[in-house]
Chains A and B, each alone.
Chain A
Amino acid sequence: MRYNERELLSLARQPAEKAAEIRMRVPKKGSVLKKRLVKLVVNFLFYFRTDEAEPIGALLLERCRITKEEENVFSISFIEEPERKYCFECATEEQCQEWVEALKKASYEFLRRSLIFYRNEIQKMTGKDPLEQYGISEEARFQLGAHGQ
């Protein structure tokens, strides 16, 4: 599958929502924990060798499962391959919880659900559609219950 790697690399250089040096292990046979710079930008998690400017890899965070594992450890896996886990060992349990929380919200699908929820609540309370002012109330991406049936 082709993709615009250049733009993704550019995205990796943007200010991150969250960044830290974390030990990471990829789901490959024989792979071990390695210290990486891990950087969350929009719905991508980039990981770098600590002294390099260009990321080794990127994970799109849609349809993924963030699991708190043992102490200081969380993992990311994807819906269609739940056994393949990217493992992250944080310095502290607190850091681990922070990352889990942040990553759970770091998907476009999460934002979409939040938006639909707020829109609905505001509509119920005020009788007004809050998206009308933006002229986007008819857009497919904001429709309540229109998706995935």
Chain B
Amino acid sequence: MKLNERSVAHYATCDSPADHAGFLRKRVERHHHHAHHHGTSYQRRWFVLKGNLLFYFEEQESREPMGLVVLEGCTVELCEAAEEFAFAIRFDDAGARAYVLVADGQAAMEAWVKALSRASFDYMRLVVRELEKQLEEACKSLAACRKSPRRSSSSGRKRHLSNPALLPLQEKPTTLENGYSTWGSGGFVAGGATCTDYDGGQMKPPPLPPRRRSAAGSATGSPAPGLSPAMLESPVSPETICFSKLHNWYGQEIAVLRREWQERQKRGHP
């Protein structure tokens, strides 16, 4: 089976985050075709964990990985090898070899076992879904607590799009490429922002991933909209079914915000 190995190797060595890295001794698996081989030997390699992929390099400075262990579906267990601080990566598949690895000490072993047992895509996806739910619930309970969203500007706590229960959450960054993302053109996701109160009355787009800044510099803030208090008051309650009214209300607010933002852009504000 082919694999896009060049890209995989590139992923291993690029500057994307490593979830864990360090030296481990890897047990050498030999195929005993002829003479019986006594004893096991280990080779020290530099290991790098990224997501659900465990790479190993001949040396820490090596520019290409020697090998890769795809971790999806594996279990990680402490191992009763003759070696201390040994653990094994095993797969369900009967007859699949186990990867026996030896750490430098107790702490290193524990750190590796912890990191590897949480490395699967499935696990990450579960956690993300759970947090997604929690954010939704937090928004709903916040909305329920706030009967009137009207606030004075001097308190610096304006609320926008104040009916989060009805608002489609812009949950995820707009991804152009896996590995890179931008946060919507112009940095303001109209109608799609999350339901949080933003610090200091400034509505901030979601935090940018560290490597990428949009040219408009929209990470740092956005217009403080000149909405009248009346506009902030939601014309509907969570139970409303008057969609057109709701639609107009959001539309109005978005139009004002967009105008403000465009004016700021013209004035050369960041």
List chain A positions with a Cβ less than 8 A from chain B: 1-12, 14, 42-43, 54-66, 78-81, 103-122, 124-126, 130-131, 134, 136, 139-141, 144-149
A148 and B209: CB pair below 8 A? yes
Chain B, range 70-128, C-beta contacts under 8 Å to A: 70, 72-74, 91-93, 96, 114-115, 118, 120-122, 124-125, 127-128
List chain B positions with a Cβ less than 8 A from chain A: 1-11, 14-20, 50-53, 64-70, 72-74, 91-93, 96, 114-115, 118, 120-122, 124-125, 127-128, 130-132, 134-135, 138-139, 142, 171-173, 175-181, 194, 196-197, 199, 206-207, 209-211
B5 and A1: CB pair below 8 A? yes
A64 and B7: CB pair below 8 A? yes
- Contacts A42-B72, A115-B128 known; A58 to B1 CB distance under 8 Å? yes
Question: Which residues from chain A contact B115 at a C-beta distance below 8 Å?
Answer: 139-141
* Whole-angstrom distance between the Cβ of B130 and the nearest chain A Cβ: 8
Expressed in whole angstroms, the Cα–Cα distance for A112 and B18 within the complex equals 12
Question: Which residues from chain B contact A113 at a C-beta distance below 8 Å?
Answer: 172-173, 181, 209
B68 and A1: CB pair below 8 A? yes
B124 and A115: CB pair below 8 A? yes
B178 and A109: CB pair below 8 A? yes
Expressed in whole angstroms, the Cα–Cα distance for A122 and B141 within the complex equals 12
- Contacts A114-B172, A145-B210, A147-B17 known; A60 to B11 CB distance under 8 Å? yes
- Contacts A62-B51, A62-B178, A78-B7 known; A139 to B118 CB distance under 8 Å? yes
Interface contact tally, CB-CB below 8 A: 230
Question: Which residues from chain A contact B67 at a C-beta distance below 8 Å?
Answer: 1-3
Expressed in whole angstroms, the Cα–Cα distance for A66 and B73 within the complex equals 26
* Whole-angstrom distance between the Cβ of B159 and the nearest chain A Cβ: 12
Expressed in whole angstroms, the Cα–Cα distance for A149 and B15 within the complex equals 9
- Contacts A8-B70, A136-B118 known; A125 to B139 CB distance under 8 Å? yes
Expressed in whole angstroms, the Cα–Cα distance for A61 and B132 within the complex equals 23
* Whole-angstrom distance between the Cβ of B54 and the nearest chain A Cβ: 10
Q: Which residue of the partner chain, among B8, B114, B207, contacts A144 with CB atoms under 8 Å?
A: B207
17 contacts between A and B (CB under 8 A): A1-B8, A1-B66, A3-B68, A7-B73, A7-B96, A60-B53, A65-B178, A66-B177, A79-B179, A104-B176, A113-B173, A114-B128, A125-B196, A130-B131, A147-B17, A147-B210, A148-B16
A6 and B96: CB pair below 8 A? yes
Q: Which residue of the partner chain, among A10, A62, A110, A122, contacts B73 with CB atoms under 8 Å?
A: A10
B11 and A62: CB pair below 8 A? yes
B4 and A60: CB pair below 8 A? yes
- Contacts A4-B70, A105-B175, A106-B178 known; A119 to B131 CB distance under 8 Å? yes
Q: Which residue of the partner chain, among A107, A115, A117, contacts B206 with CB atoms under 8 Å?
A: A117
Question: Which residues from chain A contact B93 at a C-beta distance below 8 Å?
Answer: 6-7, 10
Q: Which residue of A lies closest to B95 (CB)?
A: A6
* Whole-angstrom distance between the Cβ of B107 and the nearest chain A Cβ: 14
Q: Which residue of the partner chain, among B10, B66, B172, B179, contacts A105 with CB atoms under 8 Å?
A: B172
Q: Which residue of B lies closest to A46 (CB)?
A: B1
Question: Which residues from chain A contact B130 at a C-beta distance below 8 Å?
Answer: 130
Expressed in whole angstroms, the Cα–Cα distance for A47 and B9 within the complex equals 20
- Contacts A65-B176, A140-B19 known; A3 to B121 CB distance under 8 Å? no
A104 and B175: CB pair below 8 A? yes
Expressed in whole angstroms, the Cα–Cα distance for A106 and B197 within the complex equals 30
- Contacts A64-B7, A125-B139, A148-B16 known; A107 to B127 CB distance under 8 Å? no
Question: Which residues from chain B contact A107 at a C-beta distance below 8 Å?
Answer: 178-179
* Whole-angstrom distance between the Cβ of B102 and the nearest chain A Cβ: 19
A141 and B196: CB pair below 8 A? no
